[in-house]
Structure 1
């Protein structure tokens, strides 16, 4: 029999599900199964579960035709489980690496009905906060096996299902199921603890409890928080059924119930202000209904005052006490804010007079009417006319001619703009005026931190690549590649987004995790690839002619990515040796990353058969001209994949790159074509024809199915119709 069945209900967790699954399947213990329940999720959670089930026999997919909620999905997962123990893990959390051997050892040595494991709360800034384990057991829980009556302090551990492994036969015999609605853990956990004869605690962190910015019920206001009451009612109904053996724990469970109710009511992100009086009234009703005959141990301090106010039904006094406590909190917070403002004040005084004047001008323009016909475009930190914003701009001129498009560019890039393009130069009054008054702000990176999201404006984040390396908040785990990043400011920037453009389902999943905010994802494909998707042989020939390439030449484009963690890095690549290996009729195009325009020493040594195309204004021209792309971890592979031409991954520093910079998937294990780890290997791929043999073509086909399916030539149209014209569907 399998030892542990993990039950993972999945609903709107596409950004986190892979991490959860990986954390389980990578454990150094194999006697497990994962029951993944797709609770009719509208995102790609079901597809992710199917993907893992196809490649790992330990993963079993259960797909539901209708959404049944977390409790119902857990029950269905339990019905499919075959393990000796069941672990209901939430699919947006993850397991601590290498924790499972300790869990298994405790299960085998103590054969409990319930094993409780420790956890930490994991926050967006990578901070972690420990559980109440050390407070409940100051000297540690030890290895004691007992029932709840002998160890009632177990009641004060977090009442979730995901920090407990439960013996499946015990659970089935008990006949206990998860209830419907929010707070379903309550009516599961406490009856399980009350009924169990053998409970033990493992003093080891096993679960990282993710604290999400959005999507969690603890951060969702509404009347659904009233659903906590029937779950506690069920607990006390079972206590009545199981009396008198439950009499000793009833007072402590009553105290825990009132604590829980007050916690929900006291959280400003849960119960709306207009519902608070009704919520308090229900607490009073439950207090009087379920109060143990002999009373209960009322806590001391402010918490005890709240209990006594509930007992007396004193809502007005309770509400006034909360107002006083919040006022004290604001005073403390205000004093801290004054201290925090001291440093920025010094920095402000050091700004040039022009900077201060322009910021004041910008703020003044924010008070002016918004220009309902103005769309402001930018790309690559104002480097010029490029990428997804350029494709959207062109399609908007066709479909929405009433919207005036204006580009922001650096002064040294004005000459690179297409003739007739309306523009403003960064840093000028016209620039600040456009920033303040434009209805639409469209960029493939973020606009500066000082930019405000004024009501009614629409910010469109197009991004500029399918991510191989980790991005956004995920970079906090790889500080070497995130030097100088301010993640608090990043959160404020992404909160301005109304739309996030995604090139494929994989990107959607990664953006959701890396950039957690309330924007709408437009999974449209990348507008910049429309030109590639619709290109003809004539388009390719014209692109070659613009670069100066002959129609019979074999053209290879080499386009490596930038390595933020290795300034000045140059891959081990010898252009002349490489072009010799390509044959006498070959030309090599070499293009540095756009970051390198800041580095005067980044110029590529070119020759008769080697062209430095770093300054070519259109990377799409280069893609169309090239017969083969050689790259490493650049998003160029995803764009070029649209053309269905050979791609070679040259990854000489893969191990170092993924460990220091962090990656979302292994391009050497799931490549778009052939892979070379050394320069001699790269030469051999081309000398032997392996760069485009049957195996390489098969890999490219699989890669295209995964990443390029949306590149049909209409991505820009989809973006314009939804984000600029407001069309739905």
Structure 2
């Protein structure tokens, strides 16, 4: 690349185990109107779906280049590989679970063209899992005092206090290569690059703009993983000070600030509970004391006690190598902070928090007493759809459990209205009863397609399987934070507390795995095994006798085309309202079409057919039917909009029609995970006339529609082979390692 239309930029993105985040990362940096941009994605032998996602982006955008590594090398070496591949005038090292702000790439390129620096430093914000976003706390350093367009570190040494990472800097590639600096292995791989480049640069520049969003993940961040690898930081700072030694007297002005910066960083690592194991803290302190003695500049002045009394005292303890004194200082500091938090908490309660303290009632006392008794290793609690009855994936797993592991005693937790759905002989407890709380307290296993209530307390030794109840076309979990209409004031903190109970989370396909990782960032094992509830569709999909029996039971004539109409819930609607005139459409389709109307379970529409005057023999309300699988088997074609039923129905290989008259509104209000209308499972209609024409022309049965369905099925139903429930049972109840069949 050259300077033709301004400096060219190579963004280097190492990728490993971030399939839930890498799409947002790449979308954020692939600005469409910047031709002098290349993105080098290094697949660091990622074991999830990252490699395939990268290839998707490379196929549709020639600016993306992908390198797949045969073995995992780590973040630092992967960055070096990307640097060797880069051709841009500047390089930007980007972490694949983070993302750029709107317009950031354009703003960075403009600033590079204006200033032509060796290093451009820009600001960032931290995005926390609970939706809170905070700009860097020292962002004032970009403005105070006002900075010239270009300068040296000697002219503005405060730049050393800005975040020491690689991702908040665009670096002139030839400058970096000529310095001979390479990223190291380990947790702190960028320290020996990011500090030296600031010292060596003849031209530094600042961009007072948040360009980068640093995602604070609940799980998976290596620097928040306690272990001995945090000791690697000492070798990195050794390299930084060795570089300064090579610079000679030119580095002397930076030594005091660099020393304070290093000690500050080492204190952060030592004092955080998620970094160094308690058993290693004294050894870490000893290494920090050695570093202090080795690199303290002559005449160094410690922080003044009047500004930071605890920090000044810590400096003295570190210099003396006195760990016991350091512990006392740290304990005093923690006590002071704790006292302040308690005072703030007491003030909040005094302002009206007392109502939140009303908790204990007799049933909770009974539940707490039951939790003191031993866990019943043979007891499993099943539930579905907030205790509405026997349904979905839990029902399929229940049936396979009784067949495969008969010594386990399964019990269904249901509300009174769900008793009629239970199969003959099924043991149950009524929600809210003493038996329910006893089972909740003492069962070993729990299987549900939604979360158990907040009052449930998971005991050590209890095992949970969350099955979910559909492939997530729509946004779920934490992803809903950006869509308040769909979230409806959801308590995301409570949601994550509930999700932290899961030990296993079932995923039906790669899309679901990608979404669950991002939407529910908790420590569970993902079981990408297909959907247990679809085992019946696989087993009975070709059984014509079963199909005839089901149609007769529903009142569907043998020669009629049975359309299963199953629309989804719309968050922007208060009540159910059909998206088209059902009576008029059925009149236009004629007597040889029958509509099986399956409203979403949020709505009660049993009287709608009669009130609307629809012909009872041709519009059959099946909203209360106990089995969606039976309805699918009885039908000839599915008509839906954005319901997850399309992913299940695709297993049958029968035609699917998508009625997407409000797709744009649905996307804006609920959010979606892929563009359905671009990759539909069949025919898409957006008006009532198009819908009628599709059925009258038999377009859903055309070769083109069949091809779209086959592609959709390959993408979203790869594991639905009739054995998903068996795989779930063997993994959870028999603790067996499971392998999916080849696609």
TM-score for the superposition, normalised by structure 2: 0.94
Equivalent residue, structure 1, for 2:584: 577
Alignment of 1:414-493 (within 5 A): 414-493=419-498
Equivalent residue, structure 1, for 2:5: none
State whether residues 395 and 716 of structure 1, in contact with CA within 8 Å, keep that contact through their aligned partners in structure 2: yes
Check 1:32–1:569 CA distance in 2 against 1; reply closer, same or farther (3 A cut): farther
Equivalent residue, structure 1, for 2:634: 625
State whether residues 559 and 593 of structure 1, in contact with CA within 8 Å, keep that contact through their aligned partners in structure 2: yes
1:368 is displaced (CA, Å) by: 1.6
1:484 is displaced (CA, Å) by: 3.5
State whether residues 270 and 281 of structure 2, in contact with CA within 8 Å, keep that contact through their aligned partners in structure 1: yes
1:560 paired with 2:560, answer no
Equivalent residue, structure 2, for 1:656: 665
1:348 is displaced (CA, Å) by: 6.0
Aligned equivalents of 1:214, 1:125: Cα separation in 2: 13
State whether residues 609 and 621 of structure 2, in contact with CA within 8 Å, keep that contact through their aligned partners in structure 1: no
Equivalent residue, structure 1, for 2:625: 616
Check 1:141–1:727 CA distance in 2 against 1; reply closer, same or farther (3 A cut): farther
Which of 686, 691, 694 is equivalent to 1:682? 691
The count of aligned residue pairs is 725
Aligned equivalents of 2:609, 2:342: Cα separation in 1: 49
Larger deviation, residues 392-401 vs 538-547:
538-547
Check 1:519–1:140 CA distance in 2 against 1; reply closer, same or farther (3 A cut): farther
Equivalent residue, structure 2, for 1:669: 678
Which of 556, 577, 590 is equivalent to 1:549? 556
Structure 2 residue matching 1:305: 3-state secondary structure: helix
Alignment of 1:90-101 (within 5 A): 90-101=95-106
State whether residues 187 and 223 of structure 2, in contact with CA within 8 Å, keep that contact through their aligned partners in structure 1: no
State whether residues 195 and 240 of structure 2, in contact with CA within 8 Å, keep that contact through their aligned partners in structure 1: yes
Equivalent residue, structure 2, for 1:309: 317
Aligned equivalents of 2:618, 2:287: Cα separation in 1: 81
- Per-residue Cα deviation, 1:60-80 (whole angstroms, up to 9, x for no partner): 111111110000111111111
Alignment of 1:325-344 (within 5 A): 325-338=333-346
Structure 2 residue matching 1:270: 3-state secondary structure: coil
Check 1:69–1:141 CA distance in 2 against 1; reply closer, same or farther (3 A cut): farther
Structure 1 residue matching 2:20: 3-state secondary structure: coil
Equivalent residue, structure 2, for 1:640: 649
Equivalent residue, structure 2, for 1:540: 547
State whether residues 251 and 297 of structure 1, in contact with CA within 8 Å, keep that contact through their aligned partners in structure 2: no
- Per-residue Cα deviation, 1:144-168 (whole angstroms, up to 9, x for no partner): 2112122111000000101111111
1:337 is displaced (CA, Å) by: 4.5
State whether residues 141 and 202 of structure 1, in contact with CA within 8 Å, keep that contact through their aligned partners in structure 2: no
Aligned equivalents of 2:131, 2:340: Cα separation in 1: 25
State whether residues 473 and 515 of structure 1, in contact with CA within 8 Å, keep that contact through their aligned partners in structure 2: yes
Aligned equivalents of 2:128, 2:159: Cα separation in 1: 25
Check 1:544–1:15 CA distance in 2 against 1; reply closer, same or farther (3 A cut): same
Aligned equivalents of 2:611, 2:121: Cα separation in 1: 60
State whether residues 142 and 203 of structure 1, in contact with CA within 8 Å, keep that contact through their aligned partners in structure 2: no
Larger deviation, residues 99-108 vs 25-34:
25-34
Aligned equivalents of 1:60, 1:543: Cα separation in 2: 53
Aligned equivalents of 1:227, 1:394: Cα separation in 2: 52
Check 1:577–1:143 CA distance in 2 against 1; reply closer, same or farther (3 A cut): farther
1:123 is displaced (CA, Å) by: 0.7
Equivalent residue, structure 2, for 1:178: 183
Which of 295, 298, 307 is equivalent to 1:293? 298
Alignment of 1:365-376 (within 5 A): 365-376=370-381
Aligned equivalents of 1:143, 1:550: Cα separation in 2: 82
1:33 is displaced (CA, Å) by: 1.6
1:703 is displaced (CA, Å) by: 1.2
- Per-residue Cα deviation, 1:423-452 (whole angstroms, up to 9, x for no partner): 111121111111111111110000000001
What value does the CA root-mean-square deviation take over the aligned residues? 2.0
1:112 paired with 2:117, answer yes
Structure 1 residue matching 2:677: 3-state secondary structure: coil
Alignment of 1:128-147 (within 5 A): 128-139=133-144, 142-147=147-152
Structure 1 residue matching 2:730: 3-state secondary structure: helix
Aligned equivalents of 1:391, 1:198: Cα separation in 2: 66
1:687 is displaced (CA, Å) by: 2.6
Aligned equivalents of 1:373, 1:624: Cα separation in 2: 35
Larger deviation, residues 439-448 vs 295-304:
295-304
Larger deviation, residues 197-206 vs 213-222:
213-222
1:140 is displaced (CA, Å) by: 6.7
Check 1:80–1:543 CA distance in 2 against 1; reply closer, same or farther (3 A cut): farther
1:411 paired with 2:416, answer yes
State whether residues 252 and 296 of structure 1, in contact with CA within 8 Å, keep that contact through their aligned partners in structure 2: no
Which of 355, 368, 379 is equivalent to 1:363? 368
1:321 paired with 2:333, answer no
State whether residues 122 and 210 of structure 1, in contact with CA within 8 Å, keep that contact through their aligned partners in structure 2: yes
Larger deviation, residues 593-602 vs 471-480:
593-602
State whether residues 660 and 685 of structure 2, in contact with CA within 8 Å, keep that contact through their aligned partners in structure 1: yes
Aligned equivalents of 2:293, 2:609: Cα separation in 1: 76
1:663 is displaced (CA, Å) by: 1.2
Structure 1 residue matching 2:602: 3-state secondary structure: helix
Larger deviation, residues 20-29 vs 447-456:
20-29
Check 1:601–1:683 CA distance in 2 against 1; reply closer, same or farther (3 A cut): closer
Check 1:557–1:532 CA distance in 2 against 1; reply closer, same or farther (3 A cut): same
1:28 is displaced (CA, Å) by: 4.5
TM-score for the superposition, normalised by structure 1: 0.96
- Per-residue Cα deviation, 1:173-229 (whole angstroms, up to 9, x for no partner): 222110111111211101111121111111111111000111113421111110111
State whether residues 6 and 34 of structure 1, in contact with CA within 8 Å, keep that contact through their aligned partners in structure 2: yes
Aligned equivalents of 1:433, 1:443: Cα separation in 2: 17
Aligned equivalents of 1:288, 1:603: Cα separation in 2: 87
Check 1:236–1:455 CA distance in 2 against 1; reply closer, same or farther (3 A cut): same
1:691 is displaced (CA, Å) by: 2.7
Unaligned stretches of 5+ residues in structure 1 = none
1:262 is displaced (CA, Å) by: 1.0
Structure 2 residue matching 1:566: 3-state secondary structure: coil
1:501 paired with 2:506, answer yes
State whether residues 96 and 207 of structure 1, in contact with CA within 8 Å, keep that contact through their aligned partners in structure 2: yes
1:138 is displaced (CA, Å) by: 4.7
Aligned equivalents of 1:185, 1:599: Cα separation in 2: 63
Alignment of 1:256-271 (within 5 A): 256-271=261-276
Which of 691, 702, 705 is equivalent to 1:693? 702
Unaligned stretches of 5+ residues in structure 2 = 3-7, 739-743
Structure 2 residue matching 1:380: 3-state secondary structure: coil
